Amino acid sequence: MYYKAQILMLGATRQELEQKKKASRVRIPKVLDTSVESSSSEDECEVIQKETAKIRKEAQRSMEAAKQRSLKSMIKQKLEKKKASPVFESVNHAVQEVAQSCQSKDCASKLHSMKRRCMDAEATIAKLEAETKRARTEAAEYQKLNKQLQTQLLEALRGKTDDNVKKSTPEPLETEVCSVDDMPAKEGPSYVEEDGKISLGAGISLTSRQWNAVNSQNKNSLFVKGLAVAVWGTNVLKDRSVEGKLCPRFSQREAKAPLSPEKLKAVKECFMNRLQRQKVSKEEMEMENKKFKRYLSEKIQDINRLMKKQAKQ
């Protein structure tokens, strides 16, 4: 019976072994269990080979790691030397200058582009402001001309004197009591001229200038509307209605005062006499008779719309 032994340390003398033992720790490799009988020589060889291969691998890894550390240290030292050299500093400074130059050029280009865009936008704004100002000026001129035209029209309808008055002798009229809607047409004119004025009856008198301006209208609707303005005036018409009835569309509003029945009758007589002078048919006369009140209502609405528009302006 025998036991395997391993050599842990060698020395020429005992003293040398004692010194080595004191100087460093003795590494003891793994020892197989001696209580069990050893395996065959082949098993022992395999174990030894495996341990040897493992030790070699660890040694190789340690060597490679040491080489890498050494190489990194050398590279680091060389880089530090290059950085410390004046040549490297000049190159680095040149690179920084080039980078700053590129950045400044890029910024300058962008700044120039933004300035150009701002100038274009300012030019567009100035152009639009000029167009707006011109449009407002034209609108003000049109409004002024419109007011002047309205004033001239009212003066033509309300003129009091006319040097060139042609006197006419009207024929006597037959009077008949009837409602405004059922009034029959009469022969001859319904007005007489006295002292340069035309009397329409019911205390209504117009100057020759007003009467001629009204009669110069080609359309029947314009004749009725112009005659209504000449008789009542716009200030009265805007606050009145034809018959004083409440409008179904505005039931919450108060009904306006009606137009004077006497003046309304006189105005309608003038309208009927005009139709007779035009020699219209009976059917057309009846149709226009039904439209008479509608013409007056439209005129009142036109006056109110115009005044609302002027108030907003």
Over residues 72-95, the pLDDT tens digits come to: 888 888 888 777 766 555 656 666
Strand-pairing partners, residue 194, are 197
> Residue 22 above 50 pLDDT?
yes
SS3 state at 180: coil
Residue 134: pLDDT band by 50, 70, 90 thresholds? confident
Residue 31: pLDDT band by 50, 70, 90 thresholds? low
Q: What's residue 125's pLDDT?
A: 92
SS3 state at 163: coil
Average pLDDT of the segment spanning 106-126: 84
> Residue 147 above 70 pLDDT?
yes
Q: What distance in Å separates the CA atoms of residue 215 and residue 299, rounded to the nearest whole number?
A: 17
The amino acid that residue 81 corresponds to is K
Q: What distance in Å separates the CA atoms of residue 268 and residue 234, rounded to the nearest whole number?
A: 18
Q: What's residue 179's pLDDT?
A: 42
- Least confident piece of the model among 28-32, 179-183, 294-298: 179-183
Give the containing element (helix H, strand E) for 285: helix 282-312
> Residue 181 above 50 pLDDT?
no
Residue 128: pLDDT band by 50, 70, 90 thresholds? very high
Q: What distance in Å separates the CA atoms of residue 14 and residue 27, rounded to the nearest whole number?
A: 18
Angle at 46 between CA 41 and CA 50, to 5 degrees: 150
Looking at residue 57, the DSSP 8-state letter turns out to be H
- Cα torsion angle, 290, 292, 293, 298, sign: positive
Average pLDDT of the segment spanning 6-11: 74
Q: What distance in Å separates the CA atoms of residue 146 and residue 59, rounded to the nearest whole number?
A: 111
Q: What's residue 308's pLDDT?
A: 87
- 257-258 and 197-201 as β-strands: parallel, antiparallel, unpaired? unpaired
Q: How far is CA 260 from CA 213, 241, 263, 265, in A?
A: 23, 10, 5, 9
pLDDT tens sequence across 45-66: 777 788 888 888 888 888 888 8
Nearest-10 Cα torsion for 127, 129, 133, 135: 70
Largest CA distance in the chain: 177
Percent of the chain residues topping a pLDDT of 70: 73
Q: What is the mean pLDDT of the chain?
A: 76
pLDDT tens sequence across 254-283: 778 888 888 888 889 888 988 898 888 889
Q: What distance in Å separates the CA atoms of residue 28 and residue 186, rounded to the nearest whole number?
A: 153
Q: Provide DSSP, 134-152.
A: HHHHHHHHHHHHHHHHHHH
